[in-house]
Amino acid sequence: MSKQAVDTLARWIAESVRPVPEDARGKEAERLATEFAAYAADAGISIERLEEELGEDLVSHMEDALEALAARDDLPDDDA
Whether 43 is in a domain gets the answer yes
Nearest to 56 by CA among 33, 27, 80: 33
The predicted structure's pLDDT at residue 1? 53
Can you tell me whether residue 20 is helix, strand or coil?
A: coil
Whether 26 is in a domain gets the answer yes
Show the domain range for 23.
2-70
Higher confidence at residue 70 or residue 80?
70
Q: Which amino acid is at 80?
A: A
Whether 18 is in a domain gets the answer yes
Contacts of range 41-45, beta carbons closer than 8 Å, 24 or more positions apart: 43/8, 45/1, 45/5, 45/8
Higher confidence at residue 1 or residue 50?
50
pLDDT digits (tens, 9 = 90+) for 6-52: 999 999 999 999 999 999 999 999 999 999 999 999 999 999 999 99
- Global pTM reads 0.85
The predicted structure's pLDDT at residue 79? 47
